[in-house]
Chains A and B, each alone.
Chain A
Amino acid sequence: EVQLVQSGAELKKSGESVTISCKGSGYSFNNYYIGWVRQVPGKGLEWMGLIFPGDSDTTYSPTFQGRVTLSVDKSFSTAYLHWNNLQASDTALYFCARADGFRDVFDYWGQGTLVTVSS
C-alpha cells in the first residue's frame, strides 16, 4: 500500500527555522516525484515545487523560490521541506504528494503538517 506519512505539527516563532518531513512507503521512492502544496487555513491549494529523489532535481514555484528548500534522503525514503527565517505568513497546512513524472498528477497525498508561526 502506497503511503506518505508526514511529520507532526510545528509551533515556531518568526525568524526561526524548521524542517518538516514526508516518508514514502509501499512503492519505489526513488522513481517518483514528491511535490509540496500549501494550504492557508480556510483557503485553497498552492503548488510549491517538486523534487525527484533519484537525482534531487528540483523545481520551485516562483512564489516560493528562495523562501523554502526541498531535499530528500533516499536512504530513509524521506523528503524534506525547510524554511529559514519563518514569517507569520508561513502559517499553513503543508501537504506532500507523489507524482509519476515531472508533468504528472499527484495521485497519493500525505496527511498534512500544520506549521504555525507566531510573531
Chain B
Amino acid sequence: DIVLTQSPGTLSLSPGERAILSCRASQSVPSNSLAWFQQKPGQAPRLLIYGASLRAAGTPQRFSGSGSGTDFTLFISRLEPEDYGVFYCQQYGDSVFTFGPGTKVDVK
C-alpha cells in the first residue's frame, strides 16, 4: 500500500497568512490521483482539491494544489478564519486507497 506522510502535524497561523501543507507518498501516486480534504470538528470531510491540482466545485481560489509523483503540496494563499480544521491528503490511484494522518490548522 502507498503510505502518505503529512507535515507539519500542526500549523498555527493568523488570518491573512499563507499556509503550506505537505504530503509525501512512499511510492509514486498513479496518475497523480491525489486529493485534499478539509475536516472540521463534528463534520464530514469536504473535498478541496483532486487530481493534485484541480479545485473541486465550490473550493475558494485561495486554495491551490501542486505536485506530482511522490511530493504534493496544498497552499492556502491568505488564511480566512473559517480555514481551520484537519487537512487530509488521500491517494486514490492505487488498488488500496490511503489517507495521510492529517495536518491540523489553527487560525488564531
Q: Do A and B bind each other?
A: yes
Listed in ascending order, the chain A residues whose CB lies under 8 Å from chain B are 35, 37, 44-47, 59, 61-62, 95, 99, 103-107, 109-112
In the assembled complex, the CB of A112 is this many whole angstroms from the nearest CB of chain B, namely: 6
How many residues of B are in contact with the other chain, CB < 8 A? 26
Q: Out of A95, A103, A109, A111, which one reaches B92, CB within 8 Å?
A: A103
User: What distance in Å separates the Cβ of B55 from its nearest Cβ neighbour in chain A?
Assistant: 12
- Segment with Cβ contacts to A, from B14-22, B73-81, B94-102: B94-102
A93 to chain B, nearest CB (A): 9
Residues on A with C-beta less than 8 A from B44 are 95, 109-112
Interface of A is mostly: strand
List residues of chain B with CB under 8 Å of any chain A CB.
1, 30-31, 33, 35, 37, 39, 44-47, 50-51, 56, 88, 90, 92-93, 95-102
Residues of chain B within 8 A of A37, CB atoms compared:
45, 99
| Nearest A residue (CB) for B101 | A44
Contact A95 B97 (CB under 8 A): no
The 4 A-B pairs at the shortest CB distance, nearest first, are namely A109-B44, A105-B50, A47-B97, A45-B99
CA distance A35 to B97 in the complex (A): 10
CB distance from A74 to the nearest CB of B (A): 24
Inter-chain CA distance A49–B31, complex, in Å, is: 20
Task: Enumerate chain B residues within 8 angstroms of A110, measured Cβ to Cβ.
Answer: 44
